[in-house]
Amino acid sequence: MVDAAFIEARVHGALPHAEVHPTDLTGGGDHWHVAIVDAGFEGQRPLARQRTVLAAFQDALADGRVHALDLKCLTPDELRKRHGGRPPAPFAPH
């Protein structure tokens, strides 16, 4: 089963200086909300940011260890201005 340490390690493999905030959405280790804060995102569009992170999970997504990733990729300035310095909460559809 995938745990928060696995998520953090994968993100840090792609973005070594990122601040990573993983949340297991179902308790099963396969659906994750991950807020990632990295100054390297500056000047990148949201999809480019997400592609960088998704590439680090390609094998885990392909073999089913991870089924879903809800990624929030922010710069430190965006975190401060949009979210008051706190990582955004997971999306709750229900």
**pLDDT for 21 beyond 80:** yes
Amino acid code (one letter) for 21:
H
11 domain residue, yes or no: yes
35 domain residue, yes or no: yes
Q: List, in sequence order, every beta strand (DSSP E) within 1-94.
A: 19-24, 31-37, 68-74
Flag whether the pTM goes above 0.85.
Answer: yes
15 pLDDT tier (thresholds 50, 70, 90): very high
29 domain residue, yes or no: yes
90 domain residue, yes or no: no
71 pLDDT tier (thresholds 50, 70, 90): very high
| pLDDT at 92 (0 to 100) | 65
76 pLDDT tier (thresholds 50, 70, 90): very high
89 domain residue, yes or no: no
Domain count for the chain: 1
> Please, which residues have CB within 8 angstroms of residue 75's CB and are 6 or more apart in sequence?
37, 38, 39, 41, 42
43: containing domain: 4-83
- Reported as a single tens digit per residue, the pLDDT across 40-64 is 999 999 999 999 999 999 999 999 9
Residue 30: give its domain's CATH number.
3.30.300.90
1 pLDDT tier (thresholds 50, 70, 90): confident
92 domain residue, yes or no: no
94 domain residue, yes or no: no
